[in-house]
Amino acid sequence: MKKILIIIMTAMDFMMQTVSGQGTPVTFRDYIMKGVPAKREVDVFLHEMSWAKFDPETGYRLGNYMPHDGVDNSSTLSTSQPNGARTSFMYKSSHCRINTYGNSFTQCHQVSDGETWQEYLAADLGEPIRNFGMGGYGVNQSYLKMLKEESTANAAENIVFYIWGDDHIRSLLRCRYMLIRDWMKEQEKTEEKGKMFHGNFWSNIEMDLDKGVLVEKKNLISDPDSLYNMTDPDWMYAHLKDDLALQMALYKKGEITDIDFNKLTTLAKCLGSALDLQKQTDKRKAVAELLDLYSFASTKYILEKVKQFAVKNKKKLLVVIFDPYQVTRPLLEGKSRYDQPIVEFLEKNKYNYFDMNLVHLQDYKCFNLKIDDYYKRYFIGHYNPAGNHFFAFAIKPRIIEMLDPRPITYQDGRQQLINFKGYLEGF
């Protein structure tokens, strides 16, 4: 039973690490000083086979490893290509027209390489789909990965840009490791130290409180040797003491006791809010609301840049939104969704988007099940193989709409027969 509970925690894409606190709150300084990674973690990350590998801009990319986190108490085969794309098999020698970007629900964490939704969909369409997703990425990291790959021979005519869960907040953080360090320790119950290390420093988005505008910040650790700075408590505090998003996330969770409310009031004004944190009775709740406002602003900022890039480069764009824990579940319970501002932004600005939360809302009506039992069909936190298959066929009509000409399996007549010759080997 203990093993199953560990898998379920892993499966929530570390979401619970941004929701509830652990233990007695301490000062922000003490939290940082006492929670830096061990040298062994960095050694493994840089020099041994592990789940993630160093990247100078996005912090890390997919590596090669077998996490012990799959269905039926299994390990999963998680391998990558030199560019960080997850290994694919279906029609990989054919021309690729679709690149996908996002976090672990794009990467398809907790299943093996051949069980991703991209592979299931590629099998149905008869053409490859590249998977550039990576667990732990925020919206900004997915955007930066997109810019990099779309400037190479890997560029595709169609882009699927996937936003999950707390990706909004991740974009603001300089070093997500400090927010998920307890999750990291939990992994050592099933994995060797350092094998799941990630969340190191990366390029991020922050509010310039003096100018009142969002700015793009470079990675503070852009070469691998400097990553050992993360093991130095003094260095870590010096470079995180003014990371307002990290402080807000920790204060929201009840992890720390102190936060600069004057800076938060300035931040609120920059975001067009009249919220005065000093006057709020429930300050942690108020900080959580302001953090959502801040993170949604960063997502809107990035989405505008994604759309501009697609238009400029004559690419078709499909934005995917999905959060099974903070959006889908409340919808199934008849409650409102916390990400409504993002939905309204997508609608107002006429983005081509796909809302998987609504697909599950309709699917749930087909069953007479408790929500927890419904989730067991598709999730082990992340999608299980059946969940990825369900997602693939749910999004399929929207993918086919983007493709011109249509995939061979959805063509008609003589052209289909002519194209089919390319699939015959040895004849």
Tell me: pLDDT of 201 over 80.
yes
Tell me: pLDDT of 300 over 90.
yes
pLDDT band per the 50, 70, 90 thresholds, residue 269: very high
Q: Which of 11-20, 25-34, 100-109, 150-159 is predicted least confidently? A: 11-20
Domain that holds residue 143: 2-17+36-237+315-419
- Report pLDDT for 223: 97
Percent residues over pLDDT 70 in the chain: 92
Task: Let me know: does 117 contact 389? Beta carbons within 8 Å.
Answer: yes
Tell me: pLDDT of 1 over 50.
no
Decide if 245 is inside a domain.
no
Decide if 303 is inside a domain.
no
Decide if 148 is inside a domain.
yes
Q: What is the pLDDT of residues 131-168, one digit of tens each?
A: 999 999 999 999 999 999 999 999 999 999 999 999 99
Count of C-beta atoms within a 10 Å radius of residue 47: 10
Which amino acid appears at position 182 of this protein?
Answer: D
Q: What is the DSSP letter of 325?
A: I
Tell me: pLDDT of 13 over 50.
no
Q: What is the pLDDT of residues 45-60, one digit of tens each?
A: 999 999 999 999 999 9
Q: What is the pLDDT of residues 70-80, one digit of tens each?
A: 999 999 999 99
Determine the average pLDDT of the residues in 267-273.
97
Decide if 191 is inside a domain.
yes
Q: What is the pLDDT of residues 285-298, one digit of tens each?
A: 999 999 999 999 99
**Has this prediction a pTM greater than 0.75?**
yes
- Report pLDDT for 372: 98
Tell me: pLDDT of 381 over 60.
yes
The tokens describing 278, both together, are 């000093």
pLDDT band per the 50, 70, 90 thresholds, residue 277: confident
Q: What is the pLDDT of residues 218-236, one digit of tens each?
A: 999 999 999 999 999 999 9
- Report pLDDT for 262: 93
Phi and psi based region of residue 108 (left: phi greater than 0; alpha: psi -120 to 50; beta: remaining)? left
- Report pLDDT for 276: 83
Q: What is the pLDDT of residues 159-195, one digit of tens each?
A: 999 999 999 999 999 999 999 999 999 999 999 999 9
- Report pLDDT for 418: 63
Residue recorded with tokens 């020099």 = 47
Decide if 96 is inside a domain.
yes
Total of domains in the chain: 1
pLDDT band per the 50, 70, 90 thresholds, residue 331: very high
- Report pLDDT for 11: 44
- Report pLDDT for 415: 65
Which amino acid appears at position 342 of this protein?
Answer: I
- Report pLDDT for 417: 63
Q: Strands 379-380 and 382-383, how do they pair? A: antiparallel
Which amino acid appears at position 195 of this protein?
Answer: K
- Report pLDDT for 16: 43
The tokens describing 353, both together, are 């988007």
**DSSP state string for 131-186:** E---TT--HHHHHHHHHHHTTSTT--SEEEEEEETTHHHHTT-SBGGGGSHHHHHH
Determine the average pLDDT of the residues in 197-212.
99
pLDDT band per the 50, 70, 90 thresholds, residue 278: confident
Decide if 262 is inside a domain.
no
- Report pLDDT for 130: 99
The tokens describing 124, both together, are 């149905």
Task: Let me know: does 378 contact 390? Beta carbons within 8 Å.
Answer: yes
Q: Whole-number mean pLDDT of the chain?
A: 93
Determine the average pLDDT of the residues in 244-264.
97
Decide if 309 is inside a domain.
no
The tokens describing 158, both together, are 């169609």
CATH number for the domain spanning 46: value is 3.40.50.1110
Task: Let me know: does 345 contact 313? Beta carbons within 8 Å.
Answer: no
- Report pLDDT for 416: 66
- Report pLDDT for 414: 65
